[in-house]
Structure 1
Amino acid sequence: MSPERINPPELSPATGFSHAVSATGSRIVFLAGQTALDGSGKVVGDSLPEQFERALANLLTALAAAGGHPSDLARVTVYAVDVEAYRAHAAELGRVWRRLAGRDYPAMAVVGVVRLWDTEAQLELDGIAVLP
């Protein structure tokens, strides 16, 4: 993929996301929502940052299985049960993102939800990637 991350100066500074991502490639991969499930199907991690790390790792594992890399992510949506907690941990979540996925940020959104499929899950991530 040859992504172009677009962050117009007229908009607020893009910190931890890109305002727009233009991508060209030959294959689009739609990534299902991932929570902090381990291999046995149990939600792991008591804190939001622990669950974010596991959910992101799960998303990246699915992407890798499809032949992609974190830099191929064009769009990620985070569904958070507690948006205020997500905001409170934003700096720590950013460090987790950079460690696992690097500094090429996709277009992103955080959406507050009442609950997720697994009631213990605090957040879920899904995504779209464009592969070369």
Structure 2
Amino acid sequence: MPNDTAVARYLNPPSLERPPGYSHVVDVRGSRLIFTAGQAGVDATGTVVGGDDVEAQAEQAFRNLSAALESVGCTASNLVKLTVFVRDMARLADYRRARDRFFNSVTPAIAPAVTLVEVSRLYSESLLIEIEAVAAA
């Protein structure tokens, strides 16, 4: 069953496996797209938050993503696509806990299309995750 919002429908066709916490298809009807740069687990001074804790770094990355969205009058409810880069796929559950809290922070809860990629390194050796996004308004 599609979840309709103001500018997007989040769909999971029955012929595809049921995804955990994201949608296979997002049908965007909005006329405005917002692209963010990758957001990492750093504060406004560039200091890494959370050390070796993927969940803490993901929480900070989502806080940064929220700030980026707010700067153009959007919230998490406007998200239609995330690309997530992680350094260690074995720690995926840590990322997912932070992701689920973030997606559930808006009503109705959203589940944008997500691509998750393991990478050997990010722009700083201390970073464990980076999240880029596309929103529609």
Do they fold alike, i.e. is TM over 0.5? yes
Structure number with greater CO (CA < 8 Å, separation at least 6) is 1
Instruction: Give the structure 2 partner of residue 31 of structure 1.
Output: 36
Q: Is the contact made by 1:21 and 1:74 (CA closer than 8 Å) also made in structure 2? A: yes
Q: Are residue 16 (structure 1) and residue 14 (structure 2) matched? A: no
Q: Are residue 54 (structure 1) and residue 86 (structure 2) matched? A: no
State the percentage of identical aligned residues: 32
Cα 1:50–1:121, aligned 2, differ >3 Å: closer, same or farther?
A: same
Q: Is the contact made by 1:57 and 1:100 (CA closer than 8 Å) also made in structure 2? A: no
Cα 1:91–1:30, aligned 2, differ >3 Å: closer, same or farther?
A: closer
Cα 1:59–1:40, aligned 2, differ >3 Å: closer, same or farther?
A: same
TM-score (norm. length: structure 1)? 0.90
In the alignment, structure 2 segments of 5+ residues that lack a partner are 1-5
Instruction: Give the structure 1 partner of residue 118 of structure 2.
Output: 112
Instruction: Give the structure 2 partner of residue 78 of structure 1.
Output: 84
CA RMSD after TM alignment: 1.6
Deviations 1:44-91 (A, max 9, x none): 1021000000001101110110111111101001100001112x4355
**AA partner of residue 126 (structure 2):** E
Instruction: Give the structure 2 partner of residue 68 of structure 1.
Output: 74
Distance between the aligned counterparts of 2:68 and 2:118, measured in 1? 24
Aligned length, in residue pairs: 130
Distance between the aligned counterparts of 1:94 and 1:37, measured in 2? 16
SS in 2 for 1:56: helix
Distance between the aligned counterparts of 2:95 and 2:87, measured in 1? 15
Q: Is the contact made by 1:36 and 1:51 (CA closer than 8 Å) also made in structure 2? A: yes
Q: Is the contact made by 2:54 and 2:95 (CA closer than 8 Å) also made in structure 1? A: no
Cα 1:101–1:38, aligned 2, differ >3 Å: closer, same or farther?
A: farther
Deviations 1:16-49 (A, max 9, x none): 1000101111211101100011111111102100
In the alignment, structure 1 segments of 5+ residues that lack a partner are none
Deviation at 1:93, TM superposition (A): 3.0
TM-score (norm. length: structure 2)? 0.87
Instruction: Give the structure 2 partner of residue 129 of structure 1.
Output: 135
